[in-house]
Amino acid sequence: MVAPALRLLCLPFLALLAAAIGTTSPAAADEAALPYELPPADRSLSGGRELGPADQPAPAHYAQDRGDIDDSILLPAARDRDEDDDRRWARDHFAVAAGVISVPSYNGSDERAVLPAFYLRGRVSGFAFSTRGTNFQVDLIRQKRGQRTDFKFGPIIGLRSDRTGRIKDAQVEALGERKLAVEAGLAMGVTRQGVFTSRYDQLGVRVVGLADVSGRHGSWFVSPTIDYGTPLSKRAYVGVSASLNIYGKGFGRYYYDVDPLGSAASGLPVYDRAGRKATAGKYTIGLAGAWALSGDLRKGFVLLGGAQYGRMTGRFAASPIVRDAGSADQWVGGVGIAYQF
């Protein structure tokens, strides 16, 4: 049995927190952009000289959970691009984060669980990688130093452990636990730096597609996401994002339909509409933020915090698992600390 804690151990919880850093997000949302300017209190750190590009923070990035609690956690980049650096590829950097997060006990539940969360992100020789929930993905398109438009494309693999353990609702528990699913697919998107408020704000669009390769639900999942983030100062960042989750027939049948045997065991009514056709099952919006304890978002320790609202929709929201035993409203929130180098 795999507990929800496993599903959330690598939860982009810290991305969601970082979403508090910014505008709107989906599995999060990025917040409204404010013109970037280093506050007077921080200008003293420069010795009174005029601040240049190397003094400015790089934009934060969202990590989006695809385990089926879709949260984005925003983490600022560890280093800014030095335009006078003659190396071809964007600077290497790494970020690790840990914290606690409050989530529904399963996707569609009205019961909550408080769990640990972990996040890892980095870039080596222009190749970026990150954990997103219990997923791990690599960007195969190398990012060059100084480029403002970054195209992303690469493989993603993850675990889905929804309803595999610690189900708090007795009726849903009587339906039986689900088996851990292994999913693999592709992630693609594009991010533009310097869009509205300064050369350091960031607007991104991405699509993640996953298919079950373990024979559990035997279906697929697709999620388009848009996010936006902007620095407010050298030590503060905010971001927001929004996403929509679309599921295949097998997914709805495995997680949200109730067959006659399950109905007899749980007392929930028989339901077979979730598995009739592919459907949009959930949307999410989020807000997160970050505050650099070191005074510089590009390095050192960063405090993270954020919240996300999700809404089950359509055939999924009408399932007795959600309508009778749970809730269509899904809230996620948490706090943590990251270290960037």
| Integer CA distances (angstroms), 122 to 77, 78, 264, in order | 9, 8, 50
In a domain, 39, yes or no: no
Average pLDDT, the chain: 79
Residue 46 forms part of a structural domain: no
Q: Is 108 inside a domain boundary?
A: yes
- In the chain, the percentage of residues whose pLDDT exceeds 90 is 61
Residue 49 covered by a domain:
no
The phi-psi region of residue 277 (left if phi > 0; otherwise alpha if psi is between -120 and 50; otherwise beta) is beta
- Read off the amino acid at residue 126: G
Query: Is 237 contained in some domain?
Result: yes
Please give the model's pTM, rounded to 2 decimal places.
0.76
Q: At residue 174, what is the residue type?
A: A
Of 22-31, 233-242, 271-280, which range is least confident? 22-31
236 within 8 A of 229, measured Cβ to Cβ: no
User: CATH number for the domain including 330?
Assistant: 2.40.160.40
pLDDT digits 0-9 by tens, 14-56: 444 433 332 222 222 222 222 222 233 333 333 344 444 444 4
If pLDDT is split at 50, 70 and 90, which confidence band does 87 have? low
In a domain, 294, yes or no: yes
For residue 239, what are the contacts with CB-CB under 8 A and spacing of at least 6? 18, 19, 20, 21, 22, 23, 24, 25, 28, 29, 30, 31, 60, 62, 74, 227, 228, 229, 230, 287, 288, 289
Q: Which domain holds residue 116?
A: 4-34+56-340
Number of domains in the chain: 1
Question: pLDDT tens for residues 180-193?
Answer: 999 999 999 999 99
Does residue 48 lie within any of the structural domains?
A: no
- Does any domain span residue 188? yes
